[in-house]
Amino acid sequence: MVIKYLIEKEFKQFGRNPFLSKFVFIFPFVMLSILPLAANFEVKDLNLAVIDNNHSSYSRRLVQKIAASRYFHLTGVPSSYRQALKNIEQDQSDMILEIPPSFEQDLIREKNARVMISANAVNGMKGGLGSAYLAGILAEYNAEIRQELLPSAVSSSQTGLEVSKLFRFNPLLDYKFMMVPAIMVMLITMICGFLPAFNIVSEKEAGTIEQMNVTPVSKFSLILSKLIPYWVVGFVVLTICFGVAWLFYGLWPKGSLLTIYLFASVFVLAFSGLGLIVSNYAKTLQQAMFMVFFIVITFIFMSGLYTPVDNMPQWGQYISDISPLKYFLRVMRLVYLKGSSTADLIKPFLALCTFAVVFNTWAVLSYRKSQ
Amino acid sequence: MNAVSANLIGKKYGKLQALSGISLEVGEGDIFGLIGPDGAGKTTLFRILATLILPDEGTASVCGFDVIKDYAKIRKVVGYMPGRFSLYQDLTVLENLTFFASVFHTTVEENYDSVKDIYQQIEPFKNRRAGALSGGMKQKLALCCALIHEPSVLFLDEPTTGVDPVSRKEFWTMLQRLKQRGISILVSTPYMDEASLCDRIALIQNGKFLKTDTPQNIIKGFDSELWSVRSDHMSKLLSDLRLNEGVSSSFAFGDAHHVTLKNGKCNSHDLSVYLDGLKHTNVCIQKIEPNVEDCFMQLSGKNIL
Top-tier CATH class for B226-289: alpha beta
Q: How far apart are CA A98 and CA A84, in angstroms?
A: 9
C-beta atoms of A5 and B103 within 8 A: yes
Q: What percentage of residues in chain A have a pLDDT greater than 70?
A: 96
A14 CB neighbours in chain B (<8 A) are: none
In B129-229, which residue ranges form alpha helices assigned H by DSSP? 135-147, 165-180, 215-220
For an interface test with B, give the residue of A215, A225, A370 to mutate (most B CBs within 10 A).
A215
Q: How many CB atoms lie within 10 A of CB A140?
A: 11
Share above pLDDT 70 across residues of chain B, in percent, rounded to a whole number: 99
Distance between CA atoms of residues B241 and B228, nearest Å: 12
**What's the whole-number average pLDDT of chain A?**
86
At residue A67 the predicted structure's pLDDT band, cuts being 50, 70 and 90, is confident
Q: Is A5 on the interface with B (CB under 8 A)?
A: yes
pLDDT in tens, B136-173: 899 999 999 999 999 999 999 999 888 888 888 889 99
Instruction: State yes or no: pLDDT of B305 exceeds 50.
Output: no
Q: What are the respective helix, strand and coil percentages of chain A, to the nearest 5?
A: 70, 5, 25
pLDDT (mean) for A192-219: 89
Distance, CA of A276 to CA of A198 (rounded, Å) = 9
A140 touches chain B (CB under 8 A): no
What number of helices (H) and strands (E) belong to chain B?
A: 10, 14
pLDDT recorded at residue A159: 56
Contact A215 B51 (CB under 8 A): no
Q: Which long-range contacts (CB under 8 A, 24 or more apart) does A348-351 make?
A: A348/A263, A349/A263, A349/A266, A351/A324, A351/A327
A315-355 tens-digit pLDDT: 888 888 888 899 999 999 999 988 888 888 999 999 999 99
Which CATH superfamily is A46-156 part of?
abc type-2 transporter like domain (3.40.1710.10)
- A 10 A CB-CB count for B150 gives 16
Residue B99 · residue A10 · CB < 8 Å: no
Shortest Cα–Cα distance, A206 to chain B (Å): 7
At residue A348, the pLDDT reads: 92
SS3 B67: coil
Nearest CB to A211 within list B87, B90, B102: B87
From B153's Cα to the closest Cα of chain A, the distance in A is 13
Region A193-213: what's the mean pLDDT?
A: 90
CA distance A208 to chain B (A): 5
Asked if B236 has any chain A CB less than 8 Å from its own CB, the reply is no
Residue A37 pLDDT grade (very low, low, confident, very high; cuts 50, 70, 90) = confident
Residues of chain A with CATH 3.40.1710.10: 46-156
CB atoms within 10 A of CB A297: 10
Query: A21, A199, A213, A214: best mutation site toward chain B, by most B Cβ within 10 Å?
Result: A214
Pick the CATH number of B4-220 from 3.40.50.970, 3.40.50.300, 2.170.190.11, 3.20.20.70: 3.40.50.300
More confident residue, B11 or B221: B11
Cα A229 → chain centroid: 28
The predicted-structure confidence for A299-316, as pLDDT tens digits, reads as follows 888 888 777 888 888 888
Rounded CA-CA distance B193/B165 in Å is: 11
Q: What pLDDT sits at residue B24?
A: 92
Q: How far apart are CA A177 and CA A339, in angstroms?
A: 13
Whole-number Cα distances in Å, B142 to A175, A210, B89: 56, 13, 11
User: If we measure between CA atoms, which residue out of B16, B14, B35, B12 comes closest to residue B24?
Assistant: B35
Q: Are A28 and A241 in contact (CB under 8 A)?
A: yes
In this prediction the ipTM stands at 0.80
CA distance A27 to A10: 20
CB proximity A210 to B under 8 Å: yes
Q: How far apart are the C-alpha atoms of A292 and A196, rounded to whole Å?
A: 12
Assign A370 a pLDDT band (cuts: 50, 70, 90).
low
How far apart (Å, rounded) are the C-alpha atoms in residues B301 and B295?
10
- In chain B, what residues touch A216 (CB-CB under 8 Å)? 72, 75-76, 103-105
Asked whether this chain's domains B4-220 and B226-289 adopt the same fold, the reply is no
**Whole-angstrom distance, CA of residue B240 vs CA of residue B247:** 10
Using pLDDT thresholds of 50, 70 and 90, give the confidence band for residue B47: very high
**What Rg value do the Cα atoms of chain A yield, rounded?**
28
Residue type, B40: A
Distances (CA, A) of B73 to A44, A368, B70, B79: 70, 20, 5, 12
- Interface check for B90 against chain A (CB to CB < 8 A): the answer is yes
User: Does pTM top 0.90 for this prediction?
Assistant: no
CB contact under 8 A, A215 and B104: yes
Averaged pLDDT score across all residues of chain B? 89
Mind listing the pLDDT tens digit for each residue in A9-29? Answer: 999 999 888 888 888 888 888
CA A276 to chain centre: 26
In this complex, do B87 and A212 lie within 8 Å of one another by their Cβ atoms? Answer: no
Taking only Cα atoms into account, the Rg of chain B, rounded to an integer number of angstroms, comes to 22
Helix (H, G, I), strand (E, B) or coil at B165: helix
Tens digits of residue pLDDT in A269-287 = 999 999 999 999 999 999 9
pLDDT value for A171 = 77
pLDDT at A135 over 50: yes
Q: Do B75 and A216 touch (CB under 8 A)?
A: yes
Cβ of A368 under 8 Å from any chain B Cβ?
A: no
- Count of CB atoms situated within 10 Å of the CB of A139: 9
Nearest CB neighbour to B86, from listed A16, A207, A217: A207
Kindly state the helix (H) or strand (E) to which residue A283 belongs, with its residue range.
none
Provide the percentage of residues in chain A whose pLDDT is more than 90: 26
Count other Cβ atoms within 10 Å, centred on residue A306: 11
Distance from CA of B245 to the nearest CA of A (A): 50
DSSP notation for A159-210: TSPPP----SSSTT--HHHHHHHHHHHHHHIIIIIIHHHHHHHHHHHHTHHH
pLDDT in tens, B88-139: 999 999 999 999 999 999 999 999 988 888 899 999 999 999 999 988 899 9
Whole-angstrom Cα distance, residue B112 to residue B147? 10
Size of the A and B interface in Cβ pairs below 8 Å? 55
Give residue limits of the domains in chain B: 4-220, 226-289
At A46, the pLDDT band (50, 70, 90 cuts) reads: confident
**pLDDT level of residue B300 (50, 70, 90 thresholds):** confident
Number of residues in chain B: 305
